[in-house]
Structure 1
């Protein structure tokens, strides 16, 4: 296989919980773009951060390049490993070495305060290692816990994931083609933001199909046993796959269980928001100055 023909040249590097799944899938609708499945192989960081931290991550280089084989004749072949933004010191040299400087980088940014809260609930939903039922309790221990537990997902680094200034600065300084997308703008008018992305990529715009909603949050588990059963790999889960071979039926049963053992998450409390505002304020102001964009609304 000629790796040059199947090398990725488009990277959505983050941030997590900032609309990247929608952007990834909308890009994949374009006839000149192939976005890989899985969306987040995290190949460029898996070995460095620990191969057990992202179970769905890709380790083998041949497997990684195979993800882009279907796009070998297209203008763009892309991936969306959202933890890349947090590890520029690992990712940037690897992109340059393996794929060159002439790649396109997309960075989606969301108010880091809201991103952290959404990120916590996402990890609570889909990762059995997050056992803190209180957001601030998880927030206070997240970095120390990550260092102590080599099975803890980097998505649980709620603090560092939102420290955008240095992360964005490094990507902007090292690559000429970096597009910043703000979550609030994307949520308000997704088609307009996609048109801007297509323009950045130098390809014709298309009307994206927005019927499917991706990674809809706003809920969490009431029962940890049911969560562990549905989220983790286990023999009972494998048994149900054997006795119920129909994927749609399994999904229906799973959705019924989720409906029965979940609750709608509450909005951030005043105290929670204040704690995070105090933590992120300086970084937000530096990012605002660097990007020459008013981000005061993130602190209001």
Structure 2
């Protein structure tokens, strides 16, 4: 029998991670999608990022979107930043809860932020001060925690050291990112065990991509290991623009289906999650990668009946 938590806390990242690779869509379309996401019952939403508009034009409207978030007081919003300047912009816009990305490999850190891992992690102290001064919490997201598209496999001890240093400098919680979708369940548990041993008492979440088809298996492994904070993206939208081949977030509706059918309470309504995927598909104007979305849900097959063998 599977040993799983009674409940998990999903974070919807489609509005940020999901849209960052897409052609820009109007703020009104983003807010329509947010309304559909809110209807799922999700409690946490990563809503945008305060990064260079030239690097990520799809999220150049961060201040405008954040200015409308008062319409959903029941949701806990956070935004991603890549440095001190982004953190200052976010706080000035009224966003207190921040996620700061630190790459565990120098290759990805240089491509993503134009600085080494060591230089990037030292910025945690200033960003934590800004965040805490605004009454928020800072989550350090460790990108390429398992593998890097430039440097290859990330040593466990390297990710552990980044996690330890981020917490020392003021990060309130951590999230491990499988940025290019290469990890597998055994490696997930190995790294989780090592990181949690290094920073006891600090909550560690996970962010998987399904690029190579193992994303849901990794979710299940993380849940079995006791992780209760899991990122997912509506319809499977998204990926990393600074990591070649890193498309394919795990789909929110597929995570809900997997966990709810396994007896784990996600707090999300599956029908509403599938409805949100349809809204996302209309917004971006192309098919989404989610298998469950394409199938029409567990009890709503699409198309005409056929005989299979």
Q: TM-score range by the shorter chain?
A: 0.3 to 0.5
Q: Looking at secondary structure, tell me which structure has more helix per residue.
A: 1
TM-score normalised according to structure 2 size: 0.32
Q: Looking at secondary structure, tell me which structure has more strand per residue.
A: 2
TM-score normalised according to structure 1 size: 0.32
Larger radius of gyration: 1
